[in-house]
Amino acid sequence: MERISWNQYFMAQSHLLALRSTCTRLMVGATIVRDKRIIAGGYNGSVTGNVHCIDEGCYVIDGHCVRTVHAEINALLQCAKFGVATEGAEIYVTHFPCLQCCKSIIQGGIKKVYFAADYKNHPYAIELFQDAGVVVEKVKLEQVSVELHMQEKKDYVDKLLDKLETSVEDTSEIAAIKQEAQRLFT
């Protein structure tokens, strides 16, 4: 078995953090790393103790949900809250940072931004990153997944295959498909 790269490892952490998001429009996670060590993580959600999008819907003004604090900002604020320096650190984000997050990342002294998915990549954010000397790189996650309902999916596929097997005359092809499904789910 081949080990995943550091970039994939930290990006997987960001995807895991995104699962905690309370925004119904887009689940985002961010992980701040220095010297191959995680120093903070954040996800997009409401201000502590306030109403969440999952409870009352998004509060959208000018196309943006203003109820949430973005994942990148939550991670940066976690560092500030606990006195952890971000100068020279790297950040892994599930989606390309918005313009406001871009500016905060630069001000926080972060030198590398890794993202998994393009999301309204603002031209000025790209320009600001370039002007500040911040390296921006897209990281593909091909080998890593968080499977939330694997047993349910396996049971469903098994049920479908059993039903298909009883409805066809030549079951040799179904046997091969069952074998492949078994391999994929184990």
Q: What is the pLDDT of residues 24-73, one digit of tens each?
A: 889 999 999 999 999 999 999 999 999 999 999 999 998 888 999 999 99
Give the pLDDT band of residue 174 (cuts 50, 70, 90): confident
Q: pTM higher than 0.85, yes or no?
A: no
Comparing CA positions, the residue from 21, 146, 4 lying closest to residue 93 is: 21
Report whether pLDDT(119) > 70.
yes
Q: What is the pLDDT of residues 153-168, one digit of tens each?
A: 878 888 888 888 888 7
Q: Number of helices and strands (H, E) in the chain? A: 7, 9
Task: Sort 66 into a burial class: Cβ within 10 Å, 0-12 / 13-18 / 19+.
Answer: exposed
Q: Hey, is 25 helix, strand or coil?
A: coil
CA dist 186 to 47, 105, 150, 175, Å? 40, 41, 10, 17
Q: Are 30 and 10 in contact (CB under 8 A)?
A: no
Q: What is the pLDDT of residues 2-15, one digit of tens each?
A: 888 999 999 999 99
Q: Are 98 and 68 in contact (CB under 8 A)?
A: no
Which residues are known to be catalytic?
A: 72
pLDDT, residue 143, reads: 62
Report whether pLDDT(146) > 80.
no
